[in-house]
Amino acid sequence: MLKLVQKFLQINRYSDIKNEFKDLFLSHPNYPSLFAITDSLDLLSIENAAIRVPKEQIVDLPANFLAYFKDELILVERAKNYVRINTIKKGSHKIAYEKFLLDWNGVIVAIEPNNVIARENLKVEYSWLKYSLPLFLVIGLSFFYNAYDLFSLVFLTTSLLGFIVSVFIVQEKLGFKNSIISKFCNLSSNSSCNSVINANEGRENNLFNFSDLPLIFFGSSLIAVLIQPLNSAIFIGFLSLLAIPIIVSSIWIQKFEIQKWCVMCLVVSFLIFTQSVIWFASDLFTLSFSFESVFPFVFSLVLLIPIWLVVKPMIKNVLNSENSLKELKKFKRNYSLLNFLAKKVPHPQGLEDLRGLNFGSRNAAVKLSVIISPSCEHCHKTFQEAFDLVLRFPDKIYLNVLFNINPENTDNPYKIVVERLLTINRSTPGKTVEAISDWHIKKMNLKKWLKKWHLEPVSMMISQEINKQYEWCSKNNFNYTPVKIVNEKLFPNEYELSELKYFLNDFVEEIEVFEKIA
């Protein structure tokens, strides 16, 4: 399902946020439901709609959309005389409109295409360049210092290809998902790299497993050829010939035991078989092996095995940590847990009467109040997170910034910051955002900020408002900052304020239910 939605995003030019969608979707407490998809799209500020439409209106639908077809979520791309459907099990294929309408239940998910056309493949191309450039530099250096003939060139090419395919095999084994390799591995219903590679899961050696062998062999072969092209190629060809029984065994297992073909494994087998045939067909197979032909491969093997034994557990630990983090996110994003941890404000009366700095829509479902102090370092982060939420969801969040500062403490040099912020908000509200951003986001020092925002003397009304906010905080024993209040409940300290975005739809639904009951 994830791959389908990511492809859907890519078609609509949202490739740059596919990974962000993945994190939101997989950690959603309702994963893998339709609501998890639409809620994640909402969090990414992508306009979307999940609706049921009459089947006769299919010609009026967008060029692509998600739909339920035979009780399965699919990606639909409309053409003039047919629709192309992409399914999780069967991949992509064309069907006539009439056949599609028979098994479509009318439910679709559509999104607004991204009007900003990005360079979608730039990151992928840069990634490949980043990893392949050092390898090609080493190969170029080898060509500069060594003489290559056709025989050694063939072994360099096959070893390089084998190494690349071996990396993909290890990725599949460790759980890295690559969309290109997934398509390659699932060319037909009889092929499945994952089924073959993980066939002996749990029964393998902790140090090495079958999927490590191609990586070690081709990695050592590549290094050896780059060091001593001709001599190493002779020994590698001999080793390839010795590996033929293993190739035959692998093919037998895939054909008769697992009954699935691993396309990448077959490519590895073909490359090893090619190396053995070329070596056997050449005049060099009769030569006895010298120290020069054996040493480069042995040296590469001794170098590569310890490195892999160190790197492999590290990769596994990273993957396990990521999986644990996803489960933790899913746990934290449970709205019931947030409600349980959120405590009611002891004395909420009078909160709505406090006149702070307001941002967002007053009709928003989420009323967020942050009580901060200009001298509090943590308040900088709190304000920025709160303001970012309003910028992203201006129709869903109403922000009220209040201040907890003792008006009688004349020794506090930061008292004047609150006075001037509230004065600016009353006299020239258009400058409020700039003024508070200079202090809490740009973090100007006091002298520079006061010079920029020099105003007339503070009115009695502002002094009374500061006192009113301070007394309300004292009444609720808020002798600390920052304080975060969402709909008259204290936002739990176990959550970052930025995580409030995960629950916006839950707050909206809760209010709608309450209004219906009322």
Domains assigned to the chain: 2-111 (3.90.70.10), 122-326 (1.20.1440), 336-517 (3.40.30.10)
pLDDT digits (tens, 9 = 90+) for 460-472: 999 999 999 999 9
User: What is the secondary structure of 484-500 as a DSSP string?
Assistant: EEETTEEPPTTS-GGGG
Position 119 confidence tier, pLDDT thresholds 50, 70, 90: very low
Residue type, 75: L
CB 277 within 8 A of CB 245: no
**pTM attached to this predicted model:** 0.65
Examine the pLDDT at 500 and tell me if it is beyond 50: yes
Alpha-carbon gap, residue 232 to 307, rounded angstroms: 21
Examine the pLDDT at 410 and tell me if it is beyond 70: yes
Alpha-carbon gap, residue 80 to 61, rounded angstroms: 13
Q: Read off the tokens for 292.
A: 């020069």
Closest CA to 242 of 204, 207, 208, 279: 279
Looking at the chain, the whole-number percentage of residues with pLDDT higher than 90 is 39
Q: What is the pLDDT of residue 118?
A: 46
Pairing outcome for strands 397-403 and 72-78: unpaired
Q: Which residue has the higher pLDDT, 325 or 158?
A: 158
Examine the pLDDT at 120 and tell me if it is beyond 60: no
Closest CA to 234 of 288, 272, 271, 274: 288
Looking at the chain, the whole-number percentage of residues with pLDDT higher than 70 is 92
Q: Which residue has the higher pLDDT, 279 or 286?
A: 279
pLDDT digits (tens, 9 = 90+) for 163-191: 999 998 988 888 776 666 777 777 777 77
pLDDT digits (tens, 9 = 90+) for 236-269: 999 999 999 999 998 998 888 888 888 899 999 9
Residues 6+ apart with CB under 8 A from 172: 178, 181, 185, 193, 194, 197, 211, 264
Examine the pLDDT at 122 and tell me if it is beyond 50: no
Q: What is the pLDDT of residue 165?
A: 92
Q: What is the pLDDT of residue 518?
A: 57
The alpha carbon of residue 498 and the mean position of all alpha carbons in its chain are separated, in whole angstroms, by: 17
User: What is the secondary structure of 314-354 as a DSSP string?
Assistant: HHHHHHHHHHHHHHHHHHHT-HHHHHHHPEEPS--TTGGG-
